[in-house]
Structure 1
Amino acid sequence: MVFRTRRLAVASVAVTAATALVTGCATGSGGSNTSGADGDTLTLWTHNAGNSAELDLVNKIIKDFNGSQSKYRVKLQAFPQGDYNKSVVGAASARKLPCLLDVDGPNVPNWAWGGYLSPIDVSGSEVPLDDQLPSTVGRYKDKVYAFGHYDVSLTFFARKSVLNKYDIRIPTIDKPWTKEEFDSALAKLKKSGKFEYPLEMGTGQIGEWYPYAYSPQLQSFGGDLIDRDGYKTASGTLDGKNAVDWATWFRSLVSKGYLSKKSGADPNKDFLAGKSALHWDGSWNAAKNAEKLGDDLAIIPPVDFGDGPKIGGASWQWGMSSTCSNKAGAEAWLKFSRQTKYFVDYAKVTGTIPATEAAVKQVDGYQPGGEFNVFVQFARKFAVVRPVTPAYPYIATEFEKATQDILAGADPKDALGQAVKDIDSDLKSNNDYAG
């Protein structure tokens, strides 16, 4: 297979995983051969260096697999998350990818198109793919290339006492806030004078946070990042009336003093300190916030801006490289990892949404009736995967640029129009990523 390196996912930094950006040095060895396998030893790459909890679990699964049979041996190499994608791109160009590697869910189509990944067959696993949340299975052109053990959910955090004090309705899954209610709530909170910025949405973050956090709001307005009918143009979708309405509203949050155009380094810490009243954040901070606020914590669904509530879907997943010479061994490890106990373990150590119903029932707080089961319901009812196209990394970069410009005061229509021109030019130069 031809390895395409143009426009590939070099700089995508995922914040959809349940953990913060990690730092540290690569550990282990391997990945120096062109097949990712040395006899019956297979190298596995992960982005989790510095993230000890998740890395320890990956090591445990590898140890369990190696001890369960004598035919194959998997060895680990871990990278800091900020360096991971660049390492994969470089290894792919040199045809030195490992047999097994993790991939951020939105990048699966790009890596499959680019020749990084092979379709996988995990039939016969303890957990069938159909039992997983759809957002945790990476598909491209009707083939499965990856799967994840967990997902995460966007949500608003608030204090019930604050909402009650200012006569703001606490919304439910069945009756989320409308745009009018949300705008009214922000006006009341701003007028109170208790908050410099009543709303916190992580505007100081960069990279994947922008499409993950803000494109669901765009979609709830009726727009999108690209026309998903064929994925051949963003024109009329990212710069159409609904999209411009979203961008105009988004900019108004800054001009009205509801939102800082560049938030602090730790938005959740600021929320817990009472600097903001509403925090658009991820489920990964739910346990920390519940420990701090107790029963006063309100976990609030996304706003319905007219086209239904939306959140982003998909997080880190496991796949097999196209150059792996021991695909039977790679698929054996993938199948082995698909045991319910590992889905449970991932959720426990990362504070994420278990990807299967069987695992949900075994994780405290996430089981039916648990305080965090609401996130499972959000993921089932509101999740929208980012565009399933190899163009996604480029689209994400252009959307981030346009959104930052809009927050800084650029004309919404002009900023989105320029993004569309750049995206459509990229699509055209890559023949719509056909093949």
Structure 2
Amino acid sequence: MVFRTRNRRLTGASVAVAAATTLVAGCAAGSGSSSSGADGDTITLWTHNAGNSAELNVVKKMIKDFSSSQSKYKVKLQAFPQNDYNNSVVAAASAHKLPCLLDVDGPNVANWAWGGYLAPIDVAGSKVPLSDQLPSTVGRYRDKLYAFGFYDVSLTFFARKSVLNDNGIRIPTVDKPWTKDEFDAALAKLKKSGKFAYPLDMGTGGSGEWWPYAYSPQLQSFGGDLINRDGYKTASGTLDGTKSIEWATWFRSMVSKGYMAKKSGADPNKDFLAGKSAIQWDGSWNAAKNAEELGDDLAIIPPVDFGNGPKIGGSSWQWAMSSSCSNKDGAQAWLKFSRQTKYFVDYAKATGTLPGTEAAAKQVDGYQPGGKFNELVEFARNLAVVRPITPAYPYISTEFEKAAQDILAGADPKSALGQAAKDIDNNLRTNNNYAD
């Protein structure tokens, strides 16, 4: 979808959520409104958590604590069902009636900031410095801060130690991950064992932002990328470059060799726990569940090093302020107040996500140094690559998903990636490279 406002075109695409479900995104700038999002000193806050009571309760607690801490500002909460949230943002932006405060998925911060309906924020002097956060939880665009989040998630492979040991497969570590050759050899052994419908499940039945979130880190580990990050002006030569084609050829070989399904089941983690797959490419959101089910037999495995280091995706939901907010002082007061370690802790405990700071991780069981899930925090801290910080990202996301799905279905990797690169370049030209 394309929305027009103030002579700018904003592209829409699916956006990521922790469990890799989909949400249709699009935006229209709203900076032309004289006032919005506040009624006197009552500030409106929107969140996508209406269907997630655990996370919503953290937001409610923060609002209650903020109200108790001062008497000048009040915050009015409006929670939307996840599947309706972005459509509501689109409608409000078009009508210049965005709230003062809203949450935004990290990969879309650049698009929304460029579109003119997010304002830069200033959280200097807050209790938790930005420098203490996981880099992927801070949303910047053109050297300005627009958003920050309290948590992230991490990609990982799950496996049973007993299965790997029985098949003579080394259990890798973050210091010594599997190489491409080791990984391929492991899958061949597991396939030969005849004990699994498919030895590998990488969630290929998912849709939307799951595709670039889950698979572009593997592309980047091969040495490719979604776009040339030097200026973000072209995808040609990068998305369809030699290294990217090598990734696509390998990705397709996972299906042609019978290592994974072209389209996985509706619940890959359930299939993994049921023994249908030996190795699952999944997220930290299932770590506690898997540990409860498998105990010490659970192996949490870093991503494969395909030649340019192991990599995962980074960035999740973050808080921002609308450009049309008529009470920016109040909105920023709430944002600053929220930046307390206890809320980073509350989010992680309530949602099973990764604490956004080291201080918070020390207070969350399992995520503290030496804890059974701390390596997931280390993955997020040391291996995460944020998706391209460009307003073109939603369009890039859609094109990559289409190309990757076509490749798994049998399309020629060079042609599929080449077409995606051409389409992205055309989008960039049409939008004057998203110049201000």
Counterpart of 1:418 in structure 2 is 419
1:312 is paired with a residue whose SS is strand
Per-residue CA deviation, residues 99-154 of structure 1 (Å, 9 max, x unaligned), is 00000000000000001100000111010111111110000000000000001100
Change (3 A) 1:74 1:50: same
Aligned-residue offset at 1:10: 3.5
Which segments of 5 or more consecutive residues in structure 1 lack a partner in the other structure? 23-31
Read off the aligned partner of 2:329 and give its amino acid letter.
A
TM-score, normalised with respect to structure 1? 0.95
Aligned-residue offset at 1:11: 3.6
Counterpart of 2:151 in structure 1 is 150
2:428 is paired with a residue whose SS is helix
Counterpart of 1:228 in structure 2 is 229
Equivalent residue runs for 1:27-426 within 5 Å: 34-426=35-427
After superposition, the CA RMSD in angstroms is 1.6
Aligned-residue offset at 1:9: 5.4
Structure 1 distance, partners of 2:428, 2:85, is 25
Structure 1 distance, partners of 2:175, 2:435, is 40
Contact 2:22–2:207 (8 Å) recurs in 1: no
1:8 is paired with a residue whose SS is strand
TM-score, normalised with respect to structure 2? 0.95
Read off the aligned partner of 2:10 and give its amino acid letter.
L
Aligned-residue offset at 1:357: 1.1
Per-residue CA deviation, residues 308-358 of structure 1 (Å, 9 max, x unaligned), is 000001000000000000000000110111010000000101111111111
Per-residue CA deviation, residues 268-309 of structure 1 (Å, 9 max, x unaligned), is 010000000000000010000000000000000000000000
Per-residue CA deviation, residues 226-251 of structure 1 (Å, 9 max, x unaligned), is 00000000011000000000000000
Paired residues, what number?
424
Aligned-residue offset at 1:83: 2.0
Greater CA drift, 354-363 or 86-95: 86-95
Structure 1 distance, partners of 2:423, 2:284, is 33
Aligned-residue offset at 1:256: 0.6
Structure 1 distance, partners of 2:10, 2:158, is 35
1:291 is paired with a residue whose SS is helix
Which segments of 5 or more consecutive residues in structure 2 lack a partner in the other structure? 24-32
Change (3 A) 1:193 1:19: closer
Read off the aligned partner of 1:10 and give its amino acid letter.
G
Contact 1:116–1:321 (8 Å) recurs in 2: yes
Structure 2 distance, partners of 1:229, 1:82, is 34
Percent identity reads 81
2:45 is paired with a residue whose SS is strand
2:378 is paired with a residue whose SS is helix
Contact 1:3–1:115 (8 Å) recurs in 2: no
Contact 2:14–2:22 (8 Å) recurs in 1: no
Aligned-residue offset at 1:94: 1.1
Aligned-residue offset at 1:186: 0.5
Aligned-residue offset at 1:6: 5.7
Counterpart of 1:29 in structure 2 is none
2:313 is paired with a residue whose SS is strand
Counterpart of 2:12 in structure 1 is 10
